[in-house]
Structure 1
Amino acid sequence: MQSAGNPPMEISPDASHVRRRDRSIRLAVATSLLSKAGTAGLQLLAIPIAVRVLGRAEFGIYTSVTLTLTTVSLFEVGVGPALAHGLAKASASADRDQARALASTAFFVMVAVALVVGLVASAVLSFMPVANLYGEAFAGQEGVLRPALWAGLGLFLLVFLLNLTERIREGYLEIATTNACGAAGNVLAALAVGIGVRFMPQVWFLVLAIHGSLALAKLVNTGLLWRKHPEVMPSWKWFRPGMARLLMGDGLAFSTCCLITGVVEYNVVGWMVGHDGGPAAVALYGVFISLTIMQAGFVLMISTPTWPAVAEALAREDVGWARRAAGRLYRFGGGFALASAAGLVALGPWVFPWWLGPEFAGIGHGVFACYAFYFLAHIWRHLNHTLMIGTGQVGRMARIQLLESAVVAVAAWLGLHFGGLNAMLLAMGGVLFLMTGRILPVMVARVLRRSEPVPASPPRPA
Structure 2
Amino acid sequence: MMTAIFIWANTASAVVGASLSLRIVAARANNDKLVESQLFATAFFFAIASATALIVVFQAILNKADLSGLFGLKNNAYDADLRVAALYMSFLLPINIVASLSDSAQAGYQRQYVTNVLMMASNVAVIASLVWVQTHPSIHSMVLAVFAPPVVARTVNMALLWRSHPHIVPRWRLVGRRSLWSLVNPGAGFALMQVGSFAYLQYPIFYVGREIGPNSAAYFAAMMQVIAMSGSFLILFTQPLLPALRDASVRNDSSWTRNTFRLTLTRLVPYIAVAAIAIVLLGTFIISVLLRHSIKIDLATRLLWAAFFFIVAWEHLGYSFLAGIGKVWLATGLYLAGALLMLIIMVILIPKFGIIGAFAAMCSGPILSTVLGYPYVIKRYFMHTSS
TM-score range, shorter chain: over 0.9
Q: Which amino acid aligns with 1:278?
A: G
* Closer/same/farther in 2, CA of residues 138 and 384 from structure 1, 3 Å limit: farther
Deviates more, 1:301-310 or 1:75-84: 75-84
Do residues 202 (structure 1) and 202 (structure 2) align?
no
Do residues 406 (structure 1) and 362 (structure 2) align?
no
CA contact (8 A) 1:408 1:428 kept: yes
Match of 2:307 among 373, 386, 407: 373
Do residues 327 (structure 1) and 262 (structure 2) align?
yes
Matched position secondary structure for 1:79: helix
CA contact (8 A) 1:404 1:431 kept: yes
How do 1:290-369 residues align onto structure 2 when only pairs under 5 Å count?
290-358=225-293, 360-369=294-303
1:271 Cα offset (Å): 2.1
Distance across 1 between alignment mates of 2:52 and 2:250? 34
CA deviations on 1:320-372 (whole Å, 9 max, x unpaired) are: 111122222223332222111111212223444355333x4222222211111
Match of 1:224 among 141, 157, 160: 160
- RMSD over aligned CA atoms reads 2.1
* Closer/same/farther in 2, CA of residues 451 and 116 from structure 1, 3 Å limit: farther
1:254 Cα offset (Å): 0.7
Distance across 2 between alignment mates of 1:99 and 1:451? 27
The corresponding residue for 2:320 is 386
The corresponding residue for 1:54 is none
Unpaired segments ≥5 residues, structure 1? 1-63, 455-462
After TM superposition, the score normalised by the length of structure 1 is 0.79
After TM superposition, the score normalised by the length of structure 2 is 0.93
* Closer/same/farther in 2, CA of residues 355 and 111 from structure 1, 3 Å limit: closer
CA contact (8 A) 2:223 2:287 kept: no
The corresponding residue for 1:419 is 353
How do 1:88-103 residues align onto structure 2 when only pairs under 5 Å count?
88-103=25-40
Unpaired segments ≥5 residues, structure 2? none
Match of 1:235 among 171, 180, 185: 171
Distance across 2 between alignment mates of 1:208 and 1:122? 18
* Closer/same/farther in 2, CA of residues 65 and 420 from structure 1, 3 Å limit: closer
1:71 Cα offset (Å): 4.0
The corresponding residue for 2:109 is 172
CA deviations on 1:173-207 (whole Å, 9 max, x unpaired) are: 11111001111222233343444544x44321232
Aligned length: 387
* Closer/same/farther in 2, CA of residues 446 and 241 from structure 1, 3 Å limit: same
Matched position secondary structure for 1:137: coil
Q: Which amino acid aligns with 2:267?
A: F
1:118 Cα offset (Å): 2.1
CA deviations on 1:257-295 (whole Å, 9 max, x unpaired) are: 112221x22332222211222122111110111111111
The corresponding residue for 1:260 is 196
The corresponding residue for 2:9 is 72
Q: Which amino acid aligns with 1:422?
A: I
Match of 2:90 among 113, 138, 153: 153
The corresponding residue for 1:86 is 23
Q: Which amino acid aligns with 2:350?
A: L
* Closer/same/farther in 2, CA of residues 147 and 355 from structure 1, 3 Å limit: closer
How do 1:21-60 residues align onto structure 2 when only pairs under 5 Å count?
none
